[in-house]
C-alpha cells in the first residue's frame, strides 16, 4: 500500500495551502449518475468526530441512502478522518487507502478534519480516492453526495451557524444507552501546540435551549447517559461574555427522568466552579471531571500558552474533592514538549504523586505545522519523550489502583454496556468511567439489560477494573 505522510519531519513535506476562508471546499471527482445507495462510515478520532459521523449517517439516511455497519455490503465508504497529530493523520491516510485497495469497485470518500486541514493538497496526492469532504457541515453530507453523484466536481460548504436546527440522529456509534452531545465547536484557548483552532476554527457555542431540547429528545428515546463534549466545555458560551456552562447544567436538571450527564474536557485555567454546586445538588450531573492539565512546570505551561502551575492545579483538585469527595478526575499529560528539561519532568512527576488522579492519559509531543510550538527551540528527542511517557504510565497504574480500592464494598448504579456471550457476566461502567477510555465494571448475577442503569455492589478490584454482583 502506498504510504502518504503529512508530517513535517523527517518525511516529505506537503505544500499546504491555506484553508478556504469561511467554509470548506469539497473536492470530488466525477462519479456519474449511479444507483449507489448503501453507505458505510468509518469514524476516527475523538468523540466530537463521532458526533459528526452520526450526523452524517442521519443526513444520508434522510436523503434515501441506506446505512450498513459492514463495508462489504456498502456501495459508498466514507472515512471521517482525524487531523490532530501526526500519528492520527497517518492513520487516517492509511485507512482510507486500505479501503480503496480492498474495495476498488466502491466509492471511497475522505471526510472530516484531515481533508479540511489539507483541502488543497490531498486531492492531488491521493488521486485514487473518489472524493474529499471537510468537516464544516456534516449535517449536509447527504445533499453533497447527491450533487456529487449527479456529476458535480466540487461542492463549497460553509460552516453552519451555531443556531442552525440540529439534525436528529437516528443511529449512534456508542454502546447502548449512551450518546455524545456536542455543545460547542472550535476553541479560543490557542495553546501553542494545538491545531484545533486551525482545523475547527474559533469557539462557537450552541444555545442552551437547543442543547436541552436535544437532550430531552435523546432521553425520551431511551438514552440514559449524556456525554457533553466540546474542545473546552468549561468555556461554553464564553465567546459572548461570561461562560454559560452552569446555566446549561441547571437547565438540564429541570428535565425529568433517570439519566446521567457527564462533562468532558474542562480547561484548568478557567474551571467553572459553580458547576460543582450544581453537581452536588443533583446526582444526575456526574462527579466526573476531565481536566487536561498537560504539565505542572510553570515554565513549560507558559510555553504551552497556559497560565497555571502545579501548585494552582493541586489547589483546583483539592477544591473539587472538598465539594464532591467521591469525584473522579481524569487528565492528560504531554511529555517531551520543546524545552522540557529533567527538572521540568521532575516537577510533573511530583505533581502526579500529589494529585493522585483517578485516570491519566499520556501523549508525546507532536510537532504540528502552523502552530507556534512548531518553531520552538529545544526539541526533545523522541526516545526521551517516549521514556518519560512510559515512566508516567508506570507510576500511574499504582495510583489508579489505589483510587479504585475505595469503591470496594460500595453499592453503585452502573450503565450496562454489553453481555459477555456464554457467561453470566456483563460489562458495565460507573460514574467514574468515561466511555471507552477508562476501566470497566464486570458484573455477575444476571438479569441486566444493555443500555439500562442497574444497581450493583463492588466486591473486588482486578487490575484497573472492578468486579461486582447484581443488587
Q: Which of 152, 7, 19, 137 is nearest to 85 (CA)?
A: 7
The C-alpha cell that represents 148 in the structure block: 456529487
Instruction: Tell me phi and psi for residue 336, to 5 degrees.
Output: 80, 25
For the residues 324-347, what does the mean pLDDT come to? 97
At 14 the pLDDT is 28
Question: Would you give the DSSP letter of residue 28?
Answer: E
Instruction: Tell me phi and psi for residue 372, to 5 degrees.
Output: -60, -40
Tens of pLDDT, residue by residue over 291-318, are 999 999 999 999 999 999 999 999 999 9
Whole-number Å distance between alpha carbons of 265 and 288: 11
| Domains annotated on the chain, with CATH | 24-157 (3.40.50.12160), 178-406 (3.80.30.20), 408-470 (2.40.50.140)
Residues facing 262 on adjacent strands: 227
Whole-number Å distance between alpha carbons of 289 and 365: 23
The greatest distance separating any two alpha carbons of the chain, rounded to the nearest whole angstrom, comes to 63
In which residue are the cell numbers 469527595 written? 325
pTM of the model: 0.87
Tens of pLDDT, residue by residue over 205-229, are 999 999 999 999 999 999 999 999 9
Whole-number Å distance between alpha carbons of 307 and 421: 49
> Is 29 in contact with 131 (CB distance < 8 Å)?
yes
- 120-129, 185-194, 238-247, 343-352: segment of lowest average pLDDT: 120-129
Tens of pLDDT, residue by residue over 35-88, are 668 999 999 988 888 998 998 899 888 888 999 999 999 999 999 988 888 888
Whole-number Å distance between alpha carbons of 74 and 284: 40
Instruction: Tell me phi and psi for residue 78, to 5 degrees.
Output: -110, 125
Whole-number Å distance between alpha carbons of 27 and 134: 9
The per-residue DSSP string of 68-101 comes to: -S-GGG-SEEEEEE--SSHHHHHHHHHHHHHHHH
What percent of the chain clears pLDDT 70, i.e. is strictly above it?
88
Q: How confident is the model at residue 442 (pLDDT cuts 50, 70, 90)?
A: very high
Find the Cα–Cα–Cα–Cα dihedral 54, 56, 58, 61, rounded to 10°: -140
CB atoms under 10 Å from CB of 71, counted, come to 18
For the residues 433-456, what does the mean pLDDT come to? 92
Q: 94-128: buried (b, 16+ CB within 10 Å) or exposed (e) per residue? A: eebbebbeebeebbbbbbbbbbbbbbebbbeebee
At 100 the pLDDT is 92
Cβ burial of 236 (10 Å; 0-12, 13-18, 19+) is buried
Amino acid at each position: 500500500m502506498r504510504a502518504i505522510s503529512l508530517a513535517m519531519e523527517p518525511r516529505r513535506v506537503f505544500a499546504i495551502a491555506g484553508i478556504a476562508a469561511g467554509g470548506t471546499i469539497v473536492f470530488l471527482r466525477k462519479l456519474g449518475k449511479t444507483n449507489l445507495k448503501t453507505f458505510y462510515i468509518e469514524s476516527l478520532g475523538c468523540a466530537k468526530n463521532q458526533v459528526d459521523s452520526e450526523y452524517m449517517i442521519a443526513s444520508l439516511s434522510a436523503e434515501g441512502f441506506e446505512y450498513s455497519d459492514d463495508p462489504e455490503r456498502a456501495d459508498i465508504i466514507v472515512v471521517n478522518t482525524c487531523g490532530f497529530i501526526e500519528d492520527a493523520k497517518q492513520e487516517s491516510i492509511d485507512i482510507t487507502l486500505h479501503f480503496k485497495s480492498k474495495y476498488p469497485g466502491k466509492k471511497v470518500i475522505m471526510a472530516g478534519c484531515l481533508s479540511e486541514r489539507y483541502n488543497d493538497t490531498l486531492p492531488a496526492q491521493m488521486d485514487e480516492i473518489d472524493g474529499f469532504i471537510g468537516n464544516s457541515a456534516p449535517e449536509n453530507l447527504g445533499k453533497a453526495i447527491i450533487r456529487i453523484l449527479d456529476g458535480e466536481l466540487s461542492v463549497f460548504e460553509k460552516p453552519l451557524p451555531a443556531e442552525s436546527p440540529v439534525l436528529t440522529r437516528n443511529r449512534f456509534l456508542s454502546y447502548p444507552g449512551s450518546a455524545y452531545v456536542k455543545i460547542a465547536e472550535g476553541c479560543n484557548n490557542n495553546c501553542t501546540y494545538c491545531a484545533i483552532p486551525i482545523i475547527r476554527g474559533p469557539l462557537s457555542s450552541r444555545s442552551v435551549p437547543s442543547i436541552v431540547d436535544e437532550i430531552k429528545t435523546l432521553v425520551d428515546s431511551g438514552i440514559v447517559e449524556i456525554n457533553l463534549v466540546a474542545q473546552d466545555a468549561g468555556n461554553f458560551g464564553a465567546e459572548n461574555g461570561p461562560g454559560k456552562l452552569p446555566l446549561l447544567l441547571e437547565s438540564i436538571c429541570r428535565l425529568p427522568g433517570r439519566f446521567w450527564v457527564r462533562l468532558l474536557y474542562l480547561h484548568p485555567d478557567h474551571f467553572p466552579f459553580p458547576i460543582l454546586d450544581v453537581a452536588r445538588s443533583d446526582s444526575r450531573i456526574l462527579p466526573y471531571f476531565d481536566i487536561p492539565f498537560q504539565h505542572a512546570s510553570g515554565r513549560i505551561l507558559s510555553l504551552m500558552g497556559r497560565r497555571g502551575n502545579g501548585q494552582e492545579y493541586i489547589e483546583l483538585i483539592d477544591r473539587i474533592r472538598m465539594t464532591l469527595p467521591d469525584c473522579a478526575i481524569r487528565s492528560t499529560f504531554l511529555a517531551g514538549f520543546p524545552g522540557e528539561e529533567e527538572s521540568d519532568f521532575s516537577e510533573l512527576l511530583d505533581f502526579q504523586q500529589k494529585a493522585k488522579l483517578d485516570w491519566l492519559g499520556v501523549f508525546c509531543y507532536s510537532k504540528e505545522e502552523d502552530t507556534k510550538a512548531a518553531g520552538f527551540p529545544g526539541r526533545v528527542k523522541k526516545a526521551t519523550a517516549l521514556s518519560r511517557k512510559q515512566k508516567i504510565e508506570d507510576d500511574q497504574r499504582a495510583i489508579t489502583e489505589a483510587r479504585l480500592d475505595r469503591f470496594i464494598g460500595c453499592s453503585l448504579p452502573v450503565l450496562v454496556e454489553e453481555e459477555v456471550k456464554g457467561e453470566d457476566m456483563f460489562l458495565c461502567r460507573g460514574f467514574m468511567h468515561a466511555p471507552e477510555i477508562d476501566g470497566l465494571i464486570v458484573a455477575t448475577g444476571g438479569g441486566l439489560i444493555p443500555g439500562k442503569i442497574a444497581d450493583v455492589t463492588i466486591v473486588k478490584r482486578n487490575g484497573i477494573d472492578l468486579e461486582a454482583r447484581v443488587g
